[in-house]
Amino acid sequence: MAKAQNPAFFCSNCGYESSKWLGQCPSCRNWNTFTEAPAAKKQGGGKRKDSRVQNLPVKIREILPESGRRTSTGSSEMDTVLGGGIVKGSMILVGGDPGIGKSTLLLQVCRNLASSGQKVLYVSGEESPSQIKLRADRIGEFPESLYLMCETDLEAIETQIDSLDPDTVVVDSIQTMFSAEASGVLPGSVTQVRAVTGALLRIAKGSGTTVFIVGHVTKEGTMAGPRVLEHMVDTVLYFEGESHSSYRVLRSAKNRFGSTDELGVFEMSGAGLSDVPNASAAMLEGRPESGSGSVVVCAMEGTRPLLLEVQALVCRSNLGIPRRQAAGFDYNRVNILMAVLEKRGGLKLSDCDAYINVAGGVRVREPAMDLAVCAAIISSFRNRPFDRDTVIFGEVGLSGEVRSVGMSDRRLSEAEKLGFGRAVIPAGSRSPGTKGKIEITGVRNVYDVMGLI
Ligand code: TYD
Ligand code: MG
């Protein structure tokens, strides 16, 4: 991001800096989002280190490995997403839509950490102690060493952190916190959010306290979304889910201590969130007995195979321009795949409406979904069901060719584990035959797939 010499104005949406006021932000293209930010210069972007901590050059061979310094959060799903547990002194941002369950998730993590002997401080700027107690009662028993503080003034929080000296601090949410350092600016603005995060960063790196920050993702220009903070923290997690579904997915978008693109699946029930270790079985629950337009794909989320049902509904359009919709899958990709099927497969799809849905409320961004989406479209278009006992995955190119995708063995093992008997995969991935109990059919292009339906 380009930075002006002495930025005095900030875009309150994306954090773009400018020396003069602008009507439209050149970065995020929002209008009227520029606000004056007097404290920005003093903060130095919030990245300056505490003067007490002096870092000297060290030999890279002599640095001790990080392993062993990880603490389990008590939830195996969350540990996976974090790359094996919490690294001491790290700063973790948990973002997500309001009401998705961020506070519940973190309160449960706090309880687990406190049960394992840590001293934990949960700071809430959003709810009163009795409201939090109500939630805590639903979750279960709480140990002695979990402290709760309802406060929005950062300086007061810092004082309490100094005197209590907790191992872990949770700040819920960053948009409600207020620092006098950036006085004159409303809480939730980019300047405030930066000032507060900068101060928390000094606490985390200075005293080795692990800090969790909750951030709301809003499209509104007045609130600073967690995007501004992403470069400041060590780990960025996103908590996602569809409001109608009880499943929630935790994803890592950035992780200095582990791989990104890991995924954890949770289920929200009356008693808080619980891990869903066997996500594939949960995602396939309620699959129709028979019917066209439904296929099962094995997608990889990081290193985790996930079986999902892809549904398509293709019907004759009454409109000049056919409607196309996609939930859980890239809309533009649907259009491309339909064009490929039309041109290379000879299916007359251009005057059809098409609706694609990935059941379970998960959003997948993986090329291996292509073949499953094509199969679902063909199945719905011809009104012939796809074999219920078959999983399918592969990437589809613009010439209609099916290209191989990575980790086919892991995908096939997952399908076998869930009792699938057949798999349709790119011919280049494996020689035909069987893998375990799964019978493998290789396909070279979309024609081959059409022949199967
Ligand atoms: P919350 O953690 O407050 O969301 P956030 O902090 O992301 O805004 O949780 C919100 C929703 O979760 C709320 O609508 C109620 C629901 N919920 C349950 O279904 N079961 C539970 O045990 C709890 C604590 C919450
Ligand atoms: Mg909350």
CA–CA gap between residue 302 and residue 339 (Å, rounded): 29
CB-based burial label for 51 (10 Å; 0-12, 13-18, 19+): exposed
Q: Is the CB of 445 under 6 A from ligand 1?
A: no
Using alpha carbons, select from 8, 21, 15 the residue that is nearest to residue 225: 15
Helices (H), 353-441: 369-382, 408-417
What are 168's two structure tokens? Answer: 């872990």
pLDDT at res. 310: 95
Ligand 1: nearest atom to the Cα of 98: 8
Between the CA of 110 and the centroid of ligand 1 the distance, in Å, is 16
CA–CA gap between residue 363 and residue 240 (Å, rounded): 9
Mutation choice for ligand 1 from 103, 104, 171, 245, CB with most ligand atoms inside 8 A: 104
Q: Is the CB of 83 under 6 A from ligand 1?
A: no
CB-based burial label for 439 (10 Å; 0-12, 13-18, 19+): middle
CA–CA gap between residue 368 and residue 269 (Å, rounded): 32
Answer yes or no: are the C-beta atoms of 280 and 414 closer than 8 Å.
yes
pTM recorded for the entire structure: 0.75
pLDDT at res. 274: 93
Answer yes or no: are the C-beta atoms of 162 and 208 closer than 8 Å.
no
Averaged over successive runs of 10 residues, the pLDDT of the chain (453 residues) comes to 60 79 86 70 43 73 71 92 90 88 94 93 93 90 91 93 94 89 75 88 89 79 58 88 80 85 86 88 82 92 85 91 91 94 93 90 86 96 93 95 91 89 91 85 93 89
Between the CA of 157 and the centroid of ligand 2 the distance, in Å, is 18
Q: What is the Rg, in whole angstroms, of the alpha carbon atoms belonging to the chain?
A: 25
Between the CA of 345 and the centroid of ligand 2 the distance, in Å, is 50
pLDDT at res. 282: 82
Which residue CA neighbors atom 13 of ligand 1 most closely?
Answer: 99
Question: Of the bound ligands, which one is closest to the alpha carbon of residue 102?
Answer: 1
Q: Is the CB of 103 under 6 A from ligand 1?
A: yes
Q: Is the CB of 95 under 6 A from ligand 1?
A: no
pLDDT at res. 218: 64
pLDDT at res. 194: 85
Between the CA of 268 and the centroid of ligand 2 the distance, in Å, is 14
pLDDT at res. 167: 94
pLDDT at res. 46: 42
Between the CA of 199 and the centroid of ligand 1 the distance, in Å, is 28
Q: Is the CB of 98 under 6 A from ligand 1?
A: yes
pLDDT at res. 108: 95
Find how far residue 15's CA is from the centre of its chain: 21
Answer yes or no: are the C-beta atoms of 237 and 101 closer than 8 Å.
no
Answer yes or no: are the C-beta atoms of 131 and 137 closer than 8 Å.
no
Question: Of the bound ligands, which one is closest to the alpha carbon of residue 239?
Answer: 1
Answer yes or no: are the C-beta atoms of 171 and 214 closer than 8 Å.
yes
Biggest CA-to-CA distance, the chain:
72
Q: Is the CB of 138 under 6 A from ligand 1?
A: yes
Between the CA of 269 and the centroid of ligand 1 the distance, in Å, is 9
Q: Is the CB of 268 under 6 A from ligand 1?
A: yes
Q: Is the CB of 337 under 6 A from ligand 1?
A: no
